[in-house]
Amino acid sequence: MATTKRTLQCLLSRVCRETRRTYGVLPQPPPHNSSSSSSSSSSQHLINLEYEYSAHNYHPVPIVFSQAKGSSIWDPEGNKYLDFLSAYSAVNQGHCHPRIMKALHDQAQKLTLSSRAFYNDRFPVFAERLTDMFGYDMVLPMNTGAEGVETALKLARKWGYERKKIPNDEAIIISCCGCFHGRTLAVISMSCDNEATKGFGPLLPGHLKVDFGDEVLLEKIFKDQGERIAGFLFEPIQGEAGPTSLFDNGRKVFCTTLGWLMGREKLLLSPLKVVIPPDGYLKAVRDLCSKYNILMIADEIQTGLARTGKMLACDWEQVRPDVVILGKALGGGVIPVSAVLADKDVMLCIRPGEHGSTFGGNPLASAVAIASLDVIKEEGLAERSDRLGQELRHQLLKVQQQFPDIIKEVRGRGLFNAVEFKSKTLSPVSAYDICLKLKDRGVLAKPTHDTIVRLTPPLSMSSDELQEGSKALGEVLELDLPKMKKAKPEKLSSTASTTCDRCGRNLYGSSD
C-alpha cells in the first residue's frame, strides 16, 4: 500500500512538471511587406493579413493555396505544388473533383438549407445511401468531425442510461492514450495533449483512459468498471497525437495510472504517430465490448472512406463497431459533413429535441456527400489507396536505406503514412523545417510533433506524382539538411521531451 502511495505521489509530481511543446519554429509575426511582394493578392500580403486579423490558433507552413485540382495546388504567384496532406484526409477524392463540384453547383442552384425543422429532398437519399454502404440501420448527420464525436458520446451516454441501466449521471466513456478526436470541450476532456487541454479546464468528468493497443488492460478496466461503462471510443489507427515513446529515460512509461501500477511488461504497439495497433486488437476490442455490453465506437473520421486501403480501417480485421463516426472526406473536400452510424436499438435512444444541428443534413451537404461516396466507390479509391500506399512505402524505404542515420521508421497503411526521423541526428532541425524545404521543392506535407512528417496525399494521386514526393524527401535530406544543420543554432532545437499532465507519458520526446 505504501509503495502504491509513493508511486502515485511520484506520478503526481511527474504530471505537475511544467512542460511545453513546439514544432521547432515558434509562430513569428511574418516579415513586414516588402515593396516587391506586397500586392494585395501576393502570398506574403495574405499571410500578413491573416496574422493580423485571425486568431493565432495554427502555425501553418507558409504557402497560400489559391487554386487546386486533383493533387496539385497553385499559390497566388502561380507556383505549383503537390499536396501530400489532403487537408488532413478531407480531400481523399482529390481537389475540386468534377463530379463533386457538379453536385455542389447543381444543388446550389436549387436549394441549400431547409433546417431539420422541415424535410428536404436530398438528406433522406443521402441517409439511405450511407447506411446502405456501411450496413447500419440509421445515421445522425452533423457537420464537423468534432461534432460527430460529441454526438457519439451523447448517444453512448443515452444508450447507457436507457438500455444498459447505468445509474443516472454515472456513465463512463473509455478512450485511448494518445487519441485525437477534435477540439471541443467534451473531446479535449479525453486528450493527452497538454496544448489541447491546458488553460481550458474544468474538463468534463466521466472519462477514463487506457493504452491504445492493450487488450489486457482494456479488459481489466471493463471488468472493474464495466457496469458503468457506456462506450469505448478509439481510432483504429491513431493519426495525430499518438504517444511518441513508451520509454522515458530508459524507464518504461505507461499511459494510465492503472497500467503503470500493474507494471505491465509487454511492448504495446509501435510507439509512434500513425500508430497501427497489434494484429488482432480490433477483434479483441469487439469481443470485449460484446462481452461487457459496452458500445464499440470507432472514430473513422480520418481513417475511414478509403484512406487506409479499405472503406473503414476496422475492415482490416473484419470488425463491425456498434457506432461509426465519419467526417472529412464525406464532404469531398468541399463542405463539412460528418455522420454517426448505428443500429436502431442505439440510435433511437435519441429523440426529437435532444440533439441536432441547424446545418446537419442540409441539402447542399447531402448532395455533395452522395457524390463524394459515389466517387470513392466508382473510382475504386480504397484499392487504389492500398496499392499506392505500398508503392509509397517502398520508395520511402529506399530513402531510409540511403539515410539510415536520419530516418528511424517508415510506416503506414494505404495512403496513411508517416516518416519518423531520429531526433538526435535530425536535431537541431525539426520536422517542420523539413516540411519548409519540401515546400521549396514543390511538395506540401505536414509535420507532426518534432520528428515526424506525415504523408497522406489524395487517393487519386498518380504513381509519378507519388514518386516526386519521395524524391523530394531524398533531396531535402541530401542537399538541404546539412545546410540547415549548419545554419540553425543549437538553442533553437526543440526536441525536448514533454510529459502529459494527465497520464504522465512522455509525449513528444523521442526514444532513439
Ligand X SMILES: Cc1ncc(COP(=O)(O)O)c(C=O)c1O
Active site residues: 180, 299, 328
Task: Scan for cell 517508415, then name that residue.
Answer: 410
Q: Does 271 bind ligand X (CB under 6 A)?
A: no
Instruction: Give strand pairing partners of 68.
Output: 73
Q: Cβ closer to ligand X: 179 or 218? A: 179
Which residue, 302 or 498, is less far from ligand X as judged by CB? 302
Rounded to 5 degrees, φ, ψ at 20 are: -150, 140
Interacting span for ligand X (CB under 6 A) from 40-48, 61-69, 176-184, 419-427: 176-184
Does residue 180 touch ligand X according to CB under 6 A? yes
Stretch that binds ligand X, among 69-77, 175-183, 345-353, 377-385 (CB under 6 A): 175-183
Count of residues in contact with ligand X, rule CB under 6 A:
15
Please give the C-alpha separations between residue 216 and each of 212, 223, 232, 256, 506, in angstroms, as whole numbers: 11, 10, 14, 13, 22
- Alpha carbon 174 to chain centroid, angstroms: 18
Q: Is 150 in the site for ligand X (CB under 6 A)?
A: no
Q: Which of residues 275-304 bind ligand X (CB under 6 A)?
A: 299, 301-302
Half-sphere exposure of 358 (CA within 13 A, CB side): 2
Q: Give the residue with the Cβ less far from ligand X, 144 or 423.
A: 144
Shortest CB 180 distance to ligand X, Å: 5
Three cell numbers, residue 451: 520528428
**Burial of residue 369, with CB atoms counted within 10 A of its CB: 0-12 exposed, 13-18 middle, 19 or more buried:** buried
Minimum Å distance from CB 242 to ligand X?
11
181-200 residues near ligand X, rule: CB under 6 A = 181-182
Under rule CB under 6 A, which residues in 322-341 are in contact with ligand X? 327
Rounded-to-integer distance, Cα 87 and Cα 413, Å: 18
What is the separation, in whole angstroms, between the first and last Cα of the chain? 35
Strands 295-299 and 229-234: parallel
Query: Closest Cα partner for 98 from 310, 333, 329?
Result: 333
User: How far apart, in Å, are the Cα atoms of 400 and each of 62, 99, 202, 393, 471?
Assistant: 27, 38, 44, 10, 12
Q: How far is the CB of 462 from ligand X (least distance, A)?
A: 26
Buried b (16+ CB within 10 A) or exposed e, 5-41: eeeeeebeebbeeebebbbbeeeeebeeeeeeeeeee
Considering only 103-111, 145-153, 311-319, 361-369, which stretch makes contact with ligand X by CB under 6 A?
Answer: 145-153
242 — phi, psi (to 5°)? -60, 155
* Stretch near ligand X under the rule CB under 6 A, chosen from 104-112, 144-152, 196-204, 258-266: 144-152
Instruction: Indicate if the alpha-carbon torsion angle 254, 258, 259, 263 is positive or negative.
Output: positive
Minimum distance, C-beta of residue 1 to ligand X, in the bound complex (Å): 40
- Report the residue from 82, 139, 140, 149 that binds ligand X according to the rule CB under 6 A: 149
Residue 376 and residue 305 in contact, taking contact as beta carbons nearer than 8 Å: yes
416-421 vs 452-455, strand pairing mode: antiparallel
Site pattern 71..100 for ligand X (x: CB under 6 A): -----------------x------------
List the one residue from 239, 243, 331, 504 that touches ligand X (CB under 6 A).
Answer: 239
Figure out which of the listed residues 104, 130, 140, 146 binds ligand X, where binding follows CB under 6 A: 146
Nearest to ligand X of 24, 327 (CB atom): 327
With respect to ligand X, which residue has the nearer C-beta, 236 or 271? 236
Which CB sits closer to ligand X, 146 or 166? 146
Q: Which lies closer to ligand X via its Cβ, residue 313 or residue 407?
A: 313
On whether the CB atoms of residues 430 and 24 are closer than 8 A, the answer is yes
Nearer to ligand X, 327 or 458 (CB): 327
Q: Does 144 bind ligand X (CB under 6 A)?
A: yes
**C-alpha distance from residue 136 to each of 101, 132, 133 (Å):** 28, 7, 8
Q: Which of 75, 219, 240, 465 binds ligand X (CB under 6 A)?
A: 240
Window of 180-188, 273-281, 374-382, 430-438 that interacts with ligand X by CB under 6 A:
180-188
Residue numbers at the binding site for ligand X (CB under 6 A): 88, 144-146, 149, 180-182, 235, 239-240, 299, 301-302, 327
